[in-house]
Structure 1
């Protein structure tokens, strides 16, 4: 058992180190990204060249309307703005598209205005086939035909009388931008029964830890049956959705999202996510979304954008199950966080308490609920400690070479003394779901973003005690003080716990190895999560200290001796029968080998 345990710990270390290399982009991906960046740089230096290349015909091989085709001589890009207290949306007459969004009242990790994406990284337009030509409105010239504080109407007018109207609407204090499309006069000009809305962009880095931000960034989508799913967060991924409708697609990064919602759904969708070598962008997002086209005078499409934070309450207020983008864990962990932890958190937040105090109060509530189980655990460990001399006598009498018989004699002793050897595990069994639930809760909690407590300037990311050049293999470039305190408190707690339980031999040292492994894992995790684990350790240690004042080993020993004098119950439990039968079988097998 000891050899297997240490082997398992070694394999865990191998996985942690190996993942550092496996998640790195390949040399081919780095070269491809470098080529893209070089192309963008060339474009900026020679704008006339790219303007000529993007001169695209509207719906005919002959251009007769200079207002529609982009010409390096005649076309001049103009920007329009829709703005309220929540967001600032910038639109361009090139393609009539949204080219940039600023989320107000939010800043990047280095204090700059929070811009979700930039114009040079964004394409948005309808792709359709007219005869033998593949056309895209993203490169067409639009005109602003009307504008006020809440609405902008942009139009692409063709020489044959057909037109494409975009109506953007932004209500006060809203993070949603209404997007209505009217395609007029396209009868017998569009091949097929659908048009494809092509949207691709790069979302910019907003948080200090780009690696963790990428691990929380991907494309989410909702199918027509209401199921919300997402692409891989740890690697490049893509998916083609041909069956049923797709209600919405969201380009999500860790704490912010850009989503597109269709009132009648998209008939097909092809979505893709790519991790970039570019250190300023989180990931590259791409979506080709099909909408049905009918050969009518007018085709109308009602869409909506959402630009804003991934705060659970804010996403839930938008409807459409956008709140399912916030990862609350899997299975029962999700229900613990959504229906138990989050309401308590919101209650304390409504009292205008600091977030450090809220985390402490959550920990106190959890430890108070588990106090009866902690007491029983301590009592069970005390009984095992009192029985230790008798167990040593059994081991010396039987001999260490016959472990099966030793365990069988131990079981008899436990039965006579009325001791449950697994009683000490009871609090951990009840506490483990909450430990795992908080592991998802705090790293994905928007409320902790850029909130300070003590020396920690941002509870949603790691705090830096020491910063240094990146260590090869481990990938570390800092030491988190809160993670270090959490690890030290765990080691101290393990030491005193071993004194209480009387653990001996190699098993005693396993408790010291585990916190060190966790330090390697949690060093880059949010300070808020490590602060919770630190508080939990201190409270558990304090509870055991006071419980020890009320537990007398002499009284426990006397009670055990009284239990031994009682007649044994004739009926044995099914589990006990199986354990004894298994030990007898092991003993027979050992005798046969000898």
Structure 2
């Protein structure tokens, strides 16, 4: 190896050594943990951040576009459509109401002290089943308060010497403020609601708030068919007229042009109602029966609430259909409890309700209360029962004379009736003496047909084998359904039917009834067996006890009424009235009978 080659080799080795010292690769990096960003990603992010520093922020640009769109759509109300939704509550010992700060609106109502048929908390309405939507008419068109975010503040106040919980929802604009104040007094199902629109009058085109209320009424009772029969929309006008949408119609609607005081979505045992402090200027009401069983009925109401001096006021009722509670809410609000037609409603309103609530204070068993109601009513009506028995006894005693007339004038019905009336006059007997006292007792009999099915006090109260007196007491569930009867057997209804047939047989012996009249008494109990099988057990039990007490009363009266003494009195009347002239009423009646007979012959 010459000198030049050696020098070149040394220089080459030196170059390698220097290169390996200054340009050698770094040590192996640590393994990246799962989910950690890689170095290249971090470098990429850093580059983006550097680019972001030298350019406008995309979020700021997006916010400005949103604000511009909101300003164009909502005008001065644009600042109110952004915010954070929170839930707040008002409650007392009876009811709990949850609100949302988005809209300052009701979202849930729970009634304390009540459970559903499935023994769950009774939620009268929630976000899934119901909604309230208050709309104002603005220069940007109709705007819903549910689009606005409110700030909530709560306090405790004194209202009419009672403590009350109050929540105020406020939404402020540059021009003014919208506020909604809810006040719930202690021990009350009524919550007041005040809406203030101060300073925004220039933005409003109409001094009306349109309220859209929709509710898919939640199933609270086991028997949905009975629930639907007792569920409908009620309303009461400012002029004092009460009306409702048909309870049996699958779909119904009505436009009420007259000012309305209140509207209620009335269920069998519970009611949600909205009440104007002054009036709703008009109302559009609808209801329909859904095809499924998820809800009892679907209802809606559209109401116009006037704004006076920047204020609009109304209130809500969320609570039970208790007659005495509803009577204190607002005029005629107790109509949400059906007390029956006018000729029987007075019995329930002024007698049965007061008697029932008085006995409630003393007794806790509602079966015992029903028995006591029967005994008290029967004792009160005993003079009429006694008079009716004596009247029927007189007709039984003079039956031989009546049969003799029927045989003598069998070919001349008009003459026979005239002679019968003459006989009644001579004997001092009235054929109506046994019927009129019974007729006066009928309002009490029919009043119960409305009272017990609508009495919330009986709801989920058990007695003997009946687990709930407000519904039927099924002892046998049939694998099939019998037309007009159902797919179950109610024992109280069977007992009522047997007792009525027994009483009819005893009564026929008492009056010596013959012909068709003898069999009519047996048809009615069988008919009622079909009708009452699906009615509340309390109603069948009441009729059963009433039949047994009536049977006992007549058996007791029979011991003190002697037919021979009645006969002696009738004979004395016969001698006394032998030459008695016909009364004007009797003469007119005979004349009318003659005219009817002649007209019949001509035809």
After TM superposition, the structure 1 stretch with the greater mean CA deviation from structure 2, 217-226 or 502-511, is 217-226
- 47, 68, 73: which one aligns with 1:61: 73
Q: Report the secondary structure of 1:572's partner residue.
A: coil
Which residue is 2:384 aligned to?
373
SS at match of 1:302: strand
Structure 1 residues 372-429: Cα deviation after superposition (integer angstroms, max 9, x where no partner)? 2222222222222222233333333333x43333333333332333221221102212
User: In the alignment, what sits opposite 2:400?
Assistant: 389
**Aligned position for 2:122:** 114
Question: Is this contact kept in 2: 1:59–1:135, CA < 8 A?
Answer: no
Q: CA deviation at 1:544?
A: 0.8
The structural deviation recorded for 1:482 is 1.2
Greater relative contact order structure (CA < 8 Å, 6+ sep): 1
Shift of 1:293: 4.2
Which protein is bigger by CA-based radius of gyration? Answer: 2
Q: Within the alignment, does 1:443 sit opposite 2:453 as a pair?
A: yes
Residue of structure 2 in register with 1:572 after alignment: 582
Q: How many residue pairs end up in the alignment? A: 527
1:494, CA displacement in angstroms?
0.7
In structure 1, the partner of 2:136 is 128
The TM-score normalised by the length of structure 2 is 0.80
Is residue 2:252 matched to residue 1:237? Answer: yes
Tell me which residue corresponds to 1:524: 534
Question: In the superposition, relative to structure 1, how do residues 78 and 402 fare at CA in structure 2: closer, same or farther (>3 Å)?
Answer: same
SS of equivalent to 1:460: coil
Find the counterpart in structure 2 of residue 16 from structure 1.
none
Q: Which of 397, 409, 414 matches 1:398?
A: 409
Instruction: Report the equivalent of 2:46.
Output: none
Secondary structure in 2 aligned to 1:382? Answer: helix
Displacement, 1:113? 0.9
Counterpart in the other structure of 2:181: 167
Flag the 1:587–1:278 CA change in 2: closer, same or farther, 3 A. closer
Structure 2 counterpart of 1:84, from 73, 84, 92: 92
Q: Per the alignment, in what secondary structure is the counterpart of residue 173 of structure 1? A: coil
Contact 2:184–2:192 (8 Å) recurs in 1: yes
Instruction: Find 2:497's aligned residue among 480, 483, 487.
Output: 487
Q: Which residue number corresponds to residue 149 of structure 2? A: 142
Which residue pairs with 1:292 in the alignment? 306
- Tell me the C-alpha RMSD between the 2 structures: 2.9
**Paired residue secondary structure (1:560):** helix
Distance in structure 2 (CA, Å) of the matches to 1:273 and 1:118: 19
Consecutive unaligned residues of structure 1, counting only runs of 5 or more, are 1-56
Q: CA deviation at 1:239?
A: 3.0
Q: Which runs of 5+ in 2 are unaligned?
A: 1-68, 157-164
Contact conserved, 1:465 with 1:481, CA < 8 A, in 2?
Answer: yes
Structure 1 residue 157 displacement after superposition: 5.3
Q: How has the CA–CA distance of structure 1 residues 64 and 317 changed in structure 2, closer, same or farther, with 3 Å as cutoff? A: closer
Q: Alpha-carbon deviation of 1:472?
A: 6.2
* Mapped contact 1:405–1:583 kept (Cα < 8 A): no
Aligned to 2:347: 336
Contact 1:464 1:479 in 2 (8 A): yes
Shift of 1:58: 6.9
Q: 1:327 to 1:271 in 2, by over 3 A?
A: same
SS in 1 for 2:152: strand
Q: Which residue of structure 2 aligns with residue 42 of structure 1?
A: none
Cα separation, 2, equivalents of 1:65 and 1:300: 18
C-alpha distance in 1, partners of 2:96/2:359?
Answer: 31
C-alpha distance 194-137 of structure 1, shift in aligned 2 (>3 A): same
Q: Describe how 1:228-267 pairs up with structure 2 within 5 A.
A: 228-235=242-249, 236-243=251-258, 245-267=259-281
Aligned to 1:204: 218
Q: 1:469 to 1:166 in 2, by over 3 A?
A: farther
Separation (CA, whole Å) in 1 of partners of 2:480 and 2:205: 55
Shift in alpha-carbon separation, 1:224–1:393, aligned structure 2, 3 A: closer
SS at the partner of 2:529? helix
Instruction: Work out whether 1:223 is the aligned partner of 2:237.
Output: yes
Q: 1:415 to 1:293 in 2, by over 3 A?
A: closer
Q: String of CA shifts for 1:343-399, please: whole Å, max 9, x gaps.
A: 222222222353222222222222222222222222222222222233333333333
